[in-house]
Structure 1
Amino acid sequence: MTSQTTVEKERASQDSPSPTPAGGLRGHPWFSLFTVAVGVMMVALDGTIVAIANPAIQKDLGASLADVQWITNGYLLALAVALITAGKLGDRFGHRQTFLIGVTGFAAASGAIGLSQSISLVIAFRVLQGLFGALLMPAALGLLRATFPAEKLNMAIGIWGMVIGASTAGGPIIGGLLVEHVSWQSVFFVNVPVGVLALALGLVILKDHRAQNAPRSFDILGILLLSGAMFSLIWAIIKAGEKWGWADGRTWAWLAASAVLFAAFAFWQTRVSEPLVPLGLFRSVPLSAGTVLMVLMAFAFMGGLFFVTFYLQGVHGLSPVDSGLRLLPLTAMMIVSSPVAGALITKFGPRVPLVGGMVLTAVAMFGMSRLTTDTGTLTMSIWFALLGLGLAPVMVGATEVIVGNAPLELSGVAGGLQQAAMQVGGSLGTAVLGAVMSSKVSSDFAGNWKEAGIPVPPDPRLEAAAEFGAVPPEVAKAPGMTPEIAGRISDVIHDTFVSGMGLAFTVAGVVAVLAAVVALFTKRGQNADAAAGGAHI
């Protein structure tokens, strides 16, 4: 018993970062947190700010709908495919170097997008943005894991989650202001000074931490197999939601290819001397549960939130800026709750906050399933605030469970795993809930049209418009159209959209309940436990 305790203490001392001398900038935990937060803010902001710029890009460059979709999809594919490999690069060559390269490349790619004169160049540089963002995000978590003592890691991750939440939710507001008052190019140019600031801070403040048993070789075949598997999975999800549908044979062919490549990757990891992702990581039930929880949380949150912007802009007729302002209760609660969640998780462990957070998220989703065409701002704000309150402990706790239960020398891989789980969950949520929405609209539109007593047959183009909740402006200009009939058509489109959105939010709520059950299997990171145990001696 004594020897086991000694081994655990030795491991904790190896995995815990060494204290930084008082007064020193290099490697100072809180200055390091501020530095990585600046870089992470740039990437998180870009995830939502670009959506506001897409219509202006389409108009200015004469892009097709498919082109505009690939402004987002190209970035998403590159990010999802490269995250775990990028985390391994940080473990092998140092998270400081990886972070600085990621910041520099992301800012440079952003500037190149702003200078692009064709849609093909915009898409190409968005792919580069995704690759450099993949370098930056796991490196940021790896730096926090290596810099902060275990007993303060939750608080650091809480502030890190606050920055991501605030940046993600603030994207539509900032993007709307920039597009309306400057240009769509400014949405990308704004990353350049932020990137320069993050690079300057990183050169002065960040310290390169290397675990004693950091990997020395690189698993090239593992990288190829995992990248192919992730590409096939995300490609199938994107194309199913965009064009093919879930019944199409091509969707299932790509999903089957993904399953085969994942199986081949898992087999190879048991044969190679230094695997890309040691499968022994998943012997940790809390780490596996944290990964699944992150997928389910992102499914419910990103998939559900996808419809909120269409609801606010299409049904309520708000501008992009006003839509972003309506989401301020969500942003504010995430900003306030994330550090608090970190403190609670440090004191009580992650299980209760994670379960409670997912229960609150489920309640918010079920509440939003009851939104109507004339729901007031106060009611919406209550559900948005409750959603932010529920998400904060999950963002913080699931991240700590994944990163905290991994050895220090694999903190980059764990950070990449956390981010990849979030990307896969968000993609699945958007695609699956989009399919649920589309199916509900198809089943309800004709009946709603007939019930409204509109004296012309239903137009398939208007049914397609009902999937986005927006009434096409040409409706009012159609020959023989009266204000009364135009009003009825508008009501049908809005009612049908809200009905489909309600079903999508109900499904998201069920997924959130399932996530609450998964959260029961989480626990504090092993190294945090060791530190906490030492603190009581």
Structure 2
Amino acid sequence: MSETGSAARNGLTASLRGNYALTLAITLFALVPYLFATSATDILKGGIIHDVGLSKTMFSLVKGLGTAGYAFGALLAGDLSQRFPRRPLHMTLTASCSLGWLLSISGFGPITFCAGYILAGLSTGLLLIVALPPAVKDYPASRLPFTAVFINLALFGATAAGPLVGGLVAENIGWRGLFTIFAVVAVLAFFLGLVVIAPEKPTAPGTKFDIFAIVLAFGATVLPFGAVAMLQSTGFASPFFYVPLTLGLILFAAIFIVEDRHSAPLIAVDRMTQTTPTIGTIIASFAGGVFISLLSLSLLRATSLWGLSESQAGIGYWPLPIGAVVAAGFLGLAFKTRFLPLLILFGMLVMIGAGVMLMTVSTSSATVTIPLAYGLLGFGAGATVSPALFLAGLSVPSNALGRVLAFIELVRSVGDFLIGPVLVAFAGLIASGPAPGEKQIVITIGIAVAMGVGTTLFCVAAFFSAYRTLPVPHLERWLHGDEAAIETPQALSGGKG
């Protein structure tokens, strides 16, 4: 009887190994909690500051270092995922992610909250590269469009839904209740991984640890994110802002130089500087930065000028996830076709239009204009950030996807999460009083919109300098591992495809 039961359990386990739906679920559970938190905590910060005993400056610093951990973790995982088996990496990282959320709600004081939140960010960045590429590469090409839809919802949909979730939980279970759910989800990802992920050998166990890339990436994330997090307390003229920011950006630039000369680099600079990966990375970075800027500035206006509480403002963002879901559907339709670049272009134009609406809105028209603008903003960002990442990923061989995605996420995080806080601080800088008024917020939104316009014009010019017609992705060829789905010349070389 026991042998029969054991055989049945073994058979069930074998049938679940590599299951497509469960693999997507693991990816969702591993990544979504922290991505929710990146935007939900802007709504929940009042409760967190009060309950934990943080200052506003310390809260901003913890958020910034959590994002730095996420960006650095993604690049570090590009190395670790080559040299270590996926299954134990997944187990370790989901456990550390759950530990991070539990530390943050432990009530032992500011230090444990800070350590826990940063650990959750670092673990999620590592999990991004451990969990995501296998969900893309290990299944037939026929499933790639649905996978793309799912990943778009997991990566960007969570960020878009964060303010709404923050507004809802602020009035109910509070931030500790939300973080408890995050810890439980990470535990669920741990046990699902135990069942679904098959024991396997690492892809390149003999690869040497690229210490130069890792050290440079650490400085290129911690220094600028920490500097920008302190900006509203220190000001633009403070050496506590511009010295670490400048040093961090120098280290960021040094990554390209060092890796380009490395005999066995972690970051394939030659592939990343080809036209389509360059365009995809630029769009993902700046479109995300424009989105975060418009989100932050509209929240500032709603709470400081229009008198809404943070929870009321968060609930008012309900159209954002709806727009993101619609964009994900369009991504699924366009993924296998030549129209993926057109979807990204349309998304940029829609996001620019949403920014113009947020610039021109008045209190009398806000009831109609604001929900429409938020819905368009959700669609625009959902049709640009993740689709641009896919455009870049399809332009390199799939066997390099993990390392390429790791570096793109590093670059994207720098763009996404530095631009917004800098623009919010700039709105305060040009204010005549202690807080920015309507005029200053409109001017700063205009700067974000101008960045979107400039990014769009540059990328359109770069794309059509390389291609006469829209390229069709060859997904079957790409999944074999050695060839790109979209052939691409060197960046701005003028070659025509």
**One fold, TM greater than 0.5?**
yes
Equivalent residue for 1:73, pick from 55, 64, 67 = 64
Hey, what's the Cα distance between the residues in 2 that align with 1:524 and 1:106?
A: 40
Are the counterparts in 1 of residues 303 and 309 from structure 2 also a CA contact under 8 Å?
A: yes
Equivalent residue for 2:383, pick from 393, 407, 422 = 393
Hey, what's the Cα distance between the residues in 1 that align with 2:89 and 2:196?
A: 15
State the secondary structure of the residue aligned to 1:181.
coil
Are the counterparts in 2 of residues 298 and 429 from structure 1 also a CA contact under 8 Å?
A: no
Structure with larger Rg: 1
Q: Deviations over 1:70-92 (max 9, x none)?
A: 33123122222332112322233
1:161–1:534 distance in 2 versus 1, CA, 3 Å: closer
1:379 — aligned with what?
369
Matched, 1:514 2:454: yes
Letter of the aligned partner of 1:149 in structure 2?
P
Q: Deviations over 1:345-373 (max 9, x none)?
A: 32234211111110111111111111223
Matched, 1:333 2:301: no
1:325–1:55 distance in 2 versus 1, CA, 3 Å: closer
Letter of the aligned partner of 2:475 in structure 1?
A
2:293 — aligned with what?
303
Are the counterparts in 2 of residues 107 and 195 from structure 1 also a CA contact under 8 Å?
A: yes
2:417 — aligned with what?
427
Are the counterparts in 1 of residues 260 and 270 from structure 2 also a CA contact under 8 Å?
A: no
Are the counterparts in 2 of residues 155 and 346 from structure 1 also a CA contact under 8 Å?
A: no
Q: Matches of residues 137-156 of structure 1 in structure 2 within 5 Å? A: 137-150=128-141, 152-156=143-147
Matched, 1:229 2:194: no
Hey, what's the Cα distance between the residues in 1 that align with 2:397 and 2:421?
A: 34
1:490 — aligned with what?
none
Q: Deviations over 1:272-292 (max 9, x none)?
A: 432121222224211111111
RMSD of aligned C-alpha atoms? Answer: 2.9
2:264 — aligned with what?
274
Q: Deviations over 1:73-122 (max 9, x none)?
A: 23122222332112322233244543443222111110111113211221
Question: Displacement, 1:214?
Answer: 7.2
Hey, what's the Cα distance between the residues in 1 that align with 2:165 and 2:386?
A: 25
- Give the gaps of 5 or more residues in structure 1: 1-22, 443-462, 468-495
Equivalent residue for 1:528, pick from 467, 475, 482 = 475
Letter of the aligned partner of 1:506 in structure 2?
G
1:253 — aligned with what?
243
Are the counterparts in 2 of residues 73 and 238 from structure 1 also a CA contact under 8 Å?
A: yes
Query: What's the TM-score once normalised by structure 1's chain length?
Result: 0.78
Q: Deviations over 1:370-410 (max 9, x none)?
A: 12234332111111111122222213321112222233333
How many residue pairs get aligned? The number is 462
1:397–1:184 distance in 2 versus 1, CA, 3 Å: closer
Question: Displacement, 1:202?
Answer: 2.0
Are the counterparts in 2 of residues 306 and 430 from structure 1 also a CA contact under 8 Å?
A: yes
Hey, what's the Cα distance between the residues in 2 that align with 1:238 and 1:319?
A: 23
Are the counterparts in 2 of residues 304 and 433 from structure 1 also a CA contact under 8 Å?
A: no
1:106 — aligned with what?
97
Hey, what's the Cα distance between the residues in 2 that align with 1:124 and 1:273?
A: 36
Moved more, 304-313 or 264-273: 264-273
Are the counterparts in 1 of residues 64 and 225 from structure 2 also a CA contact under 8 Å?
A: no
1:404–1:102 distance in 2 versus 1, CA, 3 Å: farther
1:33–1:309 distance in 2 versus 1, CA, 3 Å: same
Equivalent residue for 2:352, pick from 358, 362, 382 = 362
Moved more, 176-185 or 524-533: 524-533
2:177 — aligned with what?
186
Letter of the aligned partner of 1:502 in structure 2?
V
Are the counterparts in 1 of residues 91 and 190 from structure 2 also a CA contact under 8 Å?
A: yes
Question: Displacement, 1:127?
Answer: 1.7
Are the counterparts in 1 of residues 276 and 392 from structure 2 also a CA contact under 8 Å?
A: yes
Question: Displacement, 1:179?
Answer: 3.6
Are the counterparts in 2 of residues 354 and 519 from structure 1 also a CA contact under 8 Å?
A: no
Letter of the aligned partner of 2:251 in structure 1?
L
Letter of the aligned partner of 1:189 in structure 2?
T
1:67–1:500 distance in 2 versus 1, CA, 3 Å: same
Hey, what's the Cα distance between the residues in 2 that align with 1:53 and 1:307?
A: 16
Hey, what's the Cα distance between the residues in 2 that align with 1:346 and 1:396?
A: 15
Moved more, 67-76 or 376-385: 67-76
- Give the gaps of 5 or more residues in structure 2: 1-13, 464-469, 486-497
